[in-house]
Structure 1
Amino acid sequence: MGTRSIPPNFRQIMRHDTVFKERVHDAYKIKEKLPEPTVCPQCNAVFHSGRWQWTAAPANAHQHNCPACQRIIDHYPAGFLTLEGEFFHSHRDEILHLVQNFEKKEKSEHPLQRIIATEKQNSSFLITTTDIHLARGIGEAIHDAYQGDLDFHYNQDENLLRVHWSR
């Protein structure tokens, strides 16, 4: 039958049907699918149904460190929370108790959200976490309870969050 003619000034659009690789944000995210069930030998969290959870580990479970334990072993936090100021120093025990309670609640629901360390520095207090969401949540909980100044600095390339609270 007939041939198609191309209209004048027609410009063909080039197709780009390639799959782009997603930028890797978290070096500690497990890249391969773990066999189920898998248990973390450090904390006994169980990888089941595609996520880490607190359940009883079956006797025949595979073993693999969870991302939180691997961060703790490597001393490589994802979140840094700095607390400082006169108000903090005068209410330090009360604020740190709030921090511990917040972490306990989050850890019970999300096994990968843990505090790595708490340490007193010169005039401040540093809390390191295995997850950026925990650092942010703790900072927001302190800010909600005691107001003050709260700042966030997120480094997307390293999946790192620095939270600073002072009052």
Structure 2
Amino acid sequence: MTGATDRETAPIGMPRQQRNGSHWAAWHVPSGNGCRECGAVYDRGRWLWNATPHHDAQLVCHACKRIIEHAHGAELELQGCAYLRAHRAAIMDLLCLQARIEAYYHPSGRPLQIDEDANGLRVTVCGATLLRRLGEALLNAHLGRFSIEYREGDELVRACWTRASDSP
């Protein structure tokens, strides 16, 4: 894949220093290879659905690798508050809808798990693009505050959404 820029091959929002992890290696494969787990095909820097593999060699895409290894690339915390508890069903529906839309268009943008505890919800996803999409959807539908944290030397991108219960 000569001549490709970082922008063409890098997941949106991933800082340069985080592009050297084991899951990042899946982005540097020849075009035309397919994932034996999900059927996505790598073509010119992107994993695509409904494409035909040009090579017999099958590999595992980085999203499937993360799923198999339970190694999420990003996590979103929805911090516990009265608003979250009161609107839990609508928020869960919104998160699931946005995850399905992202996975439909981008095989690498898949959710991994949603955990609930006394402090709120924790959503783990394959990468930063879906994380940002979920945060923006929450802001558009439920207002509140959303922040993303990229820690240097850490492959995991963290985000937090919260809303005061007395907000409009």
- Matched residue type, 1:63: Q
In structure 1, stretches of 5+ residues that fail to align are 1-21
Cα distance between partner residues in 2 of 1:42 and 1:52: 13
Which residue does 1:77 correspond to in 2? Answer: 72
1:63 alignment counterpart: 58
Q: 2:140 aligns with which of 136, 140, 144?
A: 144
Spell out structure 1 runs of 4+ moving beyond 4 A.
none
Q: Does the aligned pair in 2 maintain the 1:103–1:115 contact within 8 Å?
A: yes
State the alpha-carbon separation in 1 of the partners of residues 88 and 121 from structure 2: 9
Quote the Cα distance in structure 2 between the aligned partners of 1:157 and 1:23: 7
Q: Relative to total residues, which structure has the larger helix share, 1 or 2?
A: 2
Does the aligned pair in 2 maintain the 1:37–1:62 contact within 8 Å?
no
Larger Rg: 1
User: Per the alignment, do residues 143 and 40 of structure 1 end up closer, same or farther by CA in structure 2, a change over 3 Å counting?
Assistant: same
Residue 159 (str. 1) matches residue 149 (str. 2): no
Number of paired residues?
146
State whether residues 76 and 158 of structure 2, in contact with CA within 8 Å, keep that contact through their aligned partners in structure 1.
Answer: yes
Distance of 2:63 and 2:46 partners within structure 1:
13
Matched with 1:5 is none
TM-score computed with the length of structure 2 as normaliser? 0.77
DSSP-derived class of the 1:30 partner:
helix
State the Cα distance separating 1:60 from its structure 2 match. 5.4
RMSD: 2.1
Contact 1:36-1:61 at 8 Å conserved across structures: no
- Structure 2 alignment gaps of length 5 or more: 1-15, 164-168
Displacement of 1:124 in angstroms is: 1.0
Equivalent residues of 2:34, 2:40 under 8 A apart: yes
